[in-house]
A and B are shown apart, each in its own frame.
Chain A
Amino acid sequence: DAKTTQPPSMDCAEGRAANLPCNHSTISGNEYVYWYRQIHSQGPQYIIHGLKNNETNEMASLIITEDRKSSTLILPHATLRDTAVYYCIVLRPSGSARQLTFGSGTQLTVLP
């Protein structure tokens, strides 16, 4: 699975959009980009995933660059409850259960 690079921390004002970048320059053609987050002392939570097209769901939007070497997770209107560590993970689906390898992630702090 391709390696990812994320900034260790970011701040965002409450109500503003939070844009979390992820670099995955060695991604291969059949690898997907997954985003999870972990609120303090809880288990991680799936947010969104994509291959090459931009994706949106009720939680967030995922923007993947055309060359797929980087992506951005967007929380359109951040709230205090979005304060968490956000993990970007790149992997190739196998059709069977796969463990996830978590990097160090980005600590997002939403400020009032």
Chain B
Amino acid sequence: GAVVSQHPSRVICKSGTSVKIECRSLDFQATTMFWYRQFPKQSLMLMATSNEGSKATYEQGVEKDKFLINHASLTLSTLTVTSAHPEDSSFYICSAPQGGSGEKLFFGSGTQLSVL
């Protein structure tokens, strides 16, 4: 099946630094990718929709200046957590629809961010 690769799988950083997470669709093109966040023992919450060649769409309550999303190519979307703080510590997961569209999503393996 289709593969979505997400890196890094785990990152520990100091408060105030920025962290970039990459999400790649390995064998298909994705004009749209989705970024989710998951806190311990909670379900996934959609943060934003990444659109190739245009601005991302953010969910209510998600700061677009803090969570910068870039979707520069049909196979790569990046999420940068700027000036990270301990409350940003979470599990971040990207996903892309199979074949570029539709409801069947393939998910990356997730990135565990720990901000000290």
Q: Which residues of A contact B (CB under 8 A)?
A: 32, 34, 36, 38, 41-46, 49, 87, 91, 93-105
Total contacts A-B at CB 8 Å: 69
Q: Which residues of B contact A (CB under 8 A)?
A: 4, 6, 30-32, 34, 36, 43-46, 49, 91, 93-97, 100-110, 112
Chain A nearest CB from B77 CB (Å) reads 12
CA distance A17 to B82 in the complex (A): 46
Q: Do most interface residues of chain A lie in helix, strand or loop, or is the interface mixed?
A: loop
> Which B residues are CB-close (under 8 A) to A99?
34, 46, 49
Say whether, besides A42-B109, A43-B95, A44-B107, A102 and B101 are in contact (CB < 8 Å).
no
> Which A residues are CB-close (under 8 A) to B32?
96-97
> Which B residues are CB-close (under 8 A) to A91?
103
Chain A nearest CB from B23 CB (Å) reads 10
> Which A residues are CB-close (under 8 A) to B93?
43-44
Chain B nearest CB from A8 CB (Å) reads 11
CA distance A100 to B6 in the complex (A): 19
